[in-house]
Amino acid sequence: MDINLFLSELKPELPVDKKAVLKQQLAVYLNDLLLHDFHSLVQLLYRVDVSEKKIKAVLQEHPTEDAGNLLADLVIQRQAEKQATRNSFRFPPGSSDEERW
């Protein structure tokens, strides 16, 4: 799985059914990393900038739930937060370079 391509597909405007499919694929991938390549999982979560505190809290609050699903929710949530931040700093089309500074 090309995780960069996958993460770029996670957009807020996606239909609910497409989001569910992507979340399931991400959960399977994260579970595979959890079981077979923990170091890569940690690197991925660091690169996506998922809070270690949130990871620990969610896993402790839901010890019987699938870890891949829980981590997928956190990754999707973080991607949405980053997109919202980017959108809040965008300038309207046609704005001059002077306005940007």
* Top-confidence residue, 9 or 63: 63
> Residue 100 above 60 pLDDT?
no
* pLDDT for 3: 73
Q: Is residue 101 part of a domain?
A: no
User: Which tens digit of pLDDT belongs to each residue from 16-45?
Assistant: 888 888 899 999 999 999 999 999 999 999
Residue type for position 54? K
Number of separate domains in the chain = 1
Domain that holds residue 32: 16-81
Q: Is residue 11 part of a domain?
A: no
Closest to 72 measured CA to CA, from 14, 15, 32: 32
Q: Are 58 and 32 in contact (CB under 8 A)?
A: no
Prediction pTM value: 0.81
CB-based burial, 20-29: b 16+ in 10 Å, e otherwise? eebbeebbeb
* pLDDT for 39: 97
Q: Are 72 and 80 in contact (CB under 8 A)?
A: no
Q: Is residue 47 part of a domain?
A: yes
> In the predicted model, what is the mean pLDDT of residues 42-58?
95
Q: Could you give the 3-state DSSP secondary structure of residue 50? A: coil
> Residue 94 above 70 pLDDT?
no
Q: Is residue 86 part of a domain?
A: no
